Structures are given as C-alpha cells and as structure tokens.
Amino acid sequence: MPEAEERKSLSDYNKSYLLKRFAREYLKPKVASYLPVQLLHVIGALAGLVPPILLRRLIDGAIPSKNLSGIMTISLWALGTFAVIAVVRIICNYAGHRVAQSIVFDMRNDIYNHFQNLPMRFHDNKTTGELMSRVIDDLNLLQEFIHHGPEGFLGGLTNVTGVVVILFLMNVPLTLIALSFTPLLGIFAFFLVRRMHRAFRRNRRAKAQLNERLEDNLAGMKVIKTFANEDYEMERFVEKNRGHYRARASAIKYFSTLGPVSYFLNSLGLIFTLGYGGYLVTQGAMSAGTIVAFYTYLLRFRAPILRMVQISQRLSRFFASMERFFSHLDIKPDIVTTPGDFKKPREEISGEVAFEGVNFTYVQEEDVLRDIDFHVPPKTTVALAGPSGAGKTTMVRLLPRLYDVDSGYVKLDGVPVQDWNIYALRDAISVVMQDDYLFSGTIGENIAYGKPDIGIEEIERYAREANVDEFVEKTPDGYETEVGQRGVKLSGGQRQRISIARALLRDPKILILDEATSSVDSYTEKLIQEAIERVSEGRTTFIIAHRLSTIVNADEILFIEDGEIREQGDFSELMDLEGRFYDYYKLQFENPDVTG
C-alpha cells in the first residue's frame, strides 16, 4: 500500500489538531508535574520585579535619612527575593527538564515501537538516517520546546506586563517616552528572527545532506580504499561541507545582528529616559530612586521581548516536528494479525508449507512472483535455484509475513499465514540471510539473541552444531569476543556460522537459509554445508543456493525464473529432464561466475 494511503493527509495535521492531540496523548498524563513548573515560571518572573522597587526605596528613603535599620531591612528583603529567584530557577530547571524528558521518553518509545511494527515495504523506502532523525532529532527539538517554550513565553509575558504596569504607575509621560522605541524593536526582531529561522532551516537541510554523505562514506570506507577513490570522495564531501558552511554562515549573520541592533534600539529608549528623567529630577518632579528604578526596569525589558519573538518563530519548528512525529505514528501497518488470531503450541506445528496461486509485486505493475503453486511436506528440505532476481528470496520472505501476498495463499500447517498470530508464526521460523546482521556485542550475545537468558552451555551446544566452535576456540576471549559493529571483526564465513547458530537456538520448525554459503572459500563452504546438513534434520528447511553443488541432496528443487516455477523435482529428476536447471547447472560448472 502506498505510504500516502497509509496515513492521514498532511493537510489534516493543522496546528490546532497537533496541539490538542499532543496535550491529550502525552501532556495530560504528566499534567500534575507539568503545571506546577509553569506556575513557578510566573512566580520567578514576579519575584524578579521586586529588586528595582527595593533599590528605589533604598536611594529615596533609607540612604538620605541614614536609617541603618531601614537599610538592613531592605537588604534582607533583597536577599530573600534573590534567594526565592534562585530556588525557583533551580526547581524549574530540574523539574522542567525532567518532565519534558519524561514526555519525550514516552514519545520516543512509541515511535520506535511503531517503526518495528511497520512492514518491510515501509522500511524499503526509508533511509536509516531519516528514521533516526525522527526518533532522535525531532524529539530532541520537542523536548527543548516543551520546557523552554512555556518558560520563555510565560516568564517573558509576566516580565513585560509587570514592567509596563509598574512604569506607568511611576510616571506616565516618562513611560511613554521610554517605550516609544519598543514597537520598532518588536518589528525589527520579528522580521529578523523570521529570516534567521529560514536560514537555520536551510542549515538543517545542509547538515542532513552532510550527515548523509558522511554516513555513506564511512560505511563504505573499504570500497573507497579498494578503488583508490579518496580524492573523488573528498571532493564530494567538501561540496556538502561547503554547502553546510555557507548555510551556517548565513544563519550566523542574522544571529549576530539581532543582539547588537536590538540592544541599540533599546538603548535609545534608555537615553531619552535618562535625559527627560534627569530633567524631572532637577525640577523636583521625580526622585533619583525613581529614575534609577526606571532605568533598571528598562534594562530588563529587552530580553523578554526578544525571547517571546524567538519562541513565536520556534513554534513553526515545534509544529513541524510534531507533524512529522504524528504523521509517521499514523501510518497503518498492512501486516497485522486477523481477528481469528490462530496459533497452536510450537511442539504441535508440523512444518507443512503450501503456496497456492501466489502473486506478489513490490511495485504496482511489476510482477515479482506469478502463480506460484507448490506443497512441502513436514521435515522436508526444499532448495530454490535460479538466476539472480528470479524471486527466490521474495518467496521465502512471504512465509514469515515480512511481506503479504497480493493474491493467493501461503499456508503453514494448512492455515493461511494471514490467519496466524504473527508472533506465533514467526516464533516457528528462523531465517539465515545471505549477509545476515550481527549486533554489536560478543559472539555469545549474538548466538543467544533469540533467547538472551540462556546459559553458556546451551550457547556452546548450538555453536558446535553450526561449526562456530571451530574458530571460537582459537580466540583468546572465546564467546566473549567482541564482533564489532555489524560483525566487522569477523570473516563472512564466521558471521554466517554465527547466524546459523542463532537461528538454531530457537529450535525452529521451519529453517530458511538464504545464500548461506555465498561469498566464502571452499573450506568455509564445507563447514557451513556440514552444519546445514546437520541442522536440517527433523525440520522443514528452505535453502536458496547460489552454488548448485550444495543442493544435490535436497528432497525437492524448485527452479525459479522470471517469478515462475519453471521446473520441479529432485536433483536426479531435473538432470534427467535436461531442461533449464540442467542448462543452469552445466553453465555454472563451465563458468562458475555466470550464474552469480
């Protein structure tokens, strides 16, 4: 199903919908922790309005009258005020970040779990970097805004409102003069911040392209070195790095301008305030303490305005991240367990498999499998042979429902796989891919991946069955040997044998071996083949073979070509037939590279 059909239209994700859904699904459960923090932001901002008033009383009253008791009282009030501000900030910083982290913790778990439940069709069309950006970058941005957004807006609004009210109560004409440049400051900040965030948006795109190039090159370093392409790749990296540099420089230009210019505009108000206020003081119409308090409040006036302007601009990034989060969360898995939810105990699963009239496409109008029909009795070894791209791997991927058929049925023990409980179905099947993935960790941890709580004795038992012990015994750390990322510290044959041991550990009723002996030397192939023959006993086994010499003992061979079963039978029958399999087999031994 196309992705556009799997989720709501992007036009449905308006700001009102996103905000209500975020509040309902993630903020509401944390509201008892979240609201007190917002209240503390207001209290902290109100407390910050007190010191200039104390300074005014000190200058106008206590100092001229030489009232030491009054000076001490005002000092204690100031100490208490600053102590309250400090305590409030500590609590807000800790509790605010903690509750924001808690909200994002739930969101990150939800989106990762959803990605795991989405079908392979989805993952086939997404890059790892894109999905990681949804899980990490977008949610990091949300986390910062969840805390700093309300903090800056509530604190800034309280500060600005409080300052304006207090200034008007002190002197209306002087307040009008002092604030005369504020509209210009607000307009300038609004337009410059908007340009700045556009520049930062371009910077983020350039950064994503740089990361993509870097990730690609670091992962393909062996190929780069093999082809001596360091200079070429350096040119490509420099191109992306230069794009990031230019985008970043543009953003920094606006960022560097915002502070000084807004400071200058605010200073104009201060200058006029000092000039007119000083005149009023000389005329006895205003006290010196009042003009000092006025000046102090105006110094505090600029930062909240800029903060609120920046927050209004960051809202667009906040909503964009929420839109990407919920739009991905709303993608509906097309592979789900039906209401029947069929399952039965593992020991009762016989391993009988049937394909009945199966058709499948990855992309519409491009058939991959056409009218596939065959039956596999329990505990039978079936080999799939044929040229690359014929559909062999696709066929075995339909059995554990990594993909669903377009029409027809794939059955396990006579029950369509769509009717099986998805977890019971996959628990009965183990797959060893051509280039199977090993996780960072030890050899033992990778073997035990399907059953992480088992002991070393059981790990060693299955390792022997897969001939893993043959090379593990030569390592100083044995099963505690680190395999590196993706198993880079091991050879291809060693990784394959670990994958086979990992698959066996689950004691599957059906074992799928997809090109398990490809790209290995003859000695390693012999070890893997011995392991395959040993582990195939007593279970239904599918073998996809590149080297046809490895499937001569299979109970049944299906020769697949152009998405269809061209020939079917055991090795002797197909050779006697002298058809497509016979030609393919002869061709491989005359020129082994041709059938790759």
CA distances from 315 to 108, 115, 266, 450 (A): 20, 26, 25, 44
Q: Which amino acid is at 124?
A: D
Q: What are phi and psi of 235, to 5 degrees?
A: -60, -45
pLDDT at residue 535 greater than cutoff 90: no
pLDDT at residue 595 greater than cutoff 70: no
pLDDT score of 258: 76
Query: Model confidence at 354, in pLDDT bands (50, 70, 90)?
Result: very high
Q: What distance in Å separates the CA atoms of residue 512 and residue 521, rounded to the nearest whole number?
A: 22
Q: DSSP string spanning 185-218?
A: HHHHHHHHHHHHHHHHHHHHHHHHHHHHHHHHHH
Residue 324's SS3 state is helix
- CA angle 105/108/113 to nearest 5° reads 125
pLDDT at residue 3 greater than cutoff 50: no
pLDDT score of 450: 78
- Nearest Cα neighbor of 329 from 121, 118, 129, 100 is 118
Q: What distance in Å separates the CA atoms of residue 153 and residue 406, rounded to the nearest whole number?
A: 53
Per-residue pLDDT, averaged over 373-378, amounts to 94
Per-residue pLDDT, averaged over 388-407, amounts to 90
- 567: β partners: 559
Query: Model confidence at 123, in pLDDT bands (50, 70, 90)?
Result: confident
pLDDT score of 338: 62
pLDDT score of 6: 45
208-227 as b/e: b if 16+ CB within 10 A: bbbbebeeebeeeeeebeee
Per-residue pLDDT, averaged over 46-52, amounts to 92
Lowest mean pLDDT among 94-108, 196-210, 223-237: 196-210
Q: What distance in Å separates the CA atoms of residue 502 and residue 448, rounded to the nearest whole number?
A: 6
pLDDT score of 440: 84
- Residue that the structure tokens 């989060």 belong to: 325
DSSP H or E segment with residue 362:
strand 353-363
pLDDT score of 516: 65
- Residue 242, number of CB atoms within 10 A of its CB: 12
pLDDT score of 517: 63
**Burial (CB count <10 Å: 0-12, 13-18, 19+), residue 424:** middle
**Burial (CB count <10 Å: 0-12, 13-18, 19+), residue 289:** buried
Kindly give the pairing relationship between strand 429-432 and strand 510-514. parallel
- Residue-wise pLDDT tens digits, 198-216: 787 788 788 878 888 887 8
**Burial (CB count <10 Å: 0-12, 13-18, 19+), residue 392:** buried
- Residue-wise pLDDT tens digits, 290-309: 888 888 888 887 778 777 76
- Residue-wise pLDDT tens digits, 411-449: 999 999 988 988 889 888 988 887 777 888 888 888 888
- Residue-wise pLDDT tens digits, 159-197: 989 999 998 998 888 888 888 877 887 788 778 877 877
pLDDT at residue 492 greater than cutoff 90: no
* Helix, strand, coil % over all residues of the chain, rounded to 5: 65, 10, 25
pLDDT at residue 330 greater than cutoff 80: yes
53-88 as b/e: b if 16+ CB within 10 A: bbbbbbbbebeeeeeeeebeebeebeeebeebbeeb
Output the pTM of the full model. Answer: 0.75
Tell me how far the alpha carbon of residue 394 is from its chain's centroid: 27
- Residue-wise pLDDT tens digits, 540-570: 999 987 777 778 888 999 999 999 999 999 9
Lowest mean pLDDT among 133-142, 149-158, 244-253, 430-439: 430-439
Q: Which residues contact 58 (CB under 8 A, 6 or more apart)?
A: 71, 74, 289
Q: Which residues contact 565 (CB under 8 A, 6 or more apart)?
A: 372, 373, 374, 558, 559
Query: Model confidence at 4, in pLDDT bands (50, 70, 90)?
Result: very low
- Residue-wise pLDDT tens digits, 11-40: 577 878 888 999 999 999 999 999 999 999
State the chain's mean pLDDT as an integer: 84
Identify the top-confidence range among 209-223, 259-273, 343-357, 480-494.
Answer: 343-357
Cβ atoms 596, 580 nearer than 8 A: no
pLDDT score of 10: 53
**DSSP tag of 390:** S
Q: What are phi and psi of 267, to 5 degrees?
A: -65, -30
Q: What distance in Å separates the CA atoms of residue 95 and residue 171, rounded to the nearest whole number?
A: 39
pLDDT score of 2: 43
Q: What are phi and psi of 363, to 5 degrees?
A: -125, 140
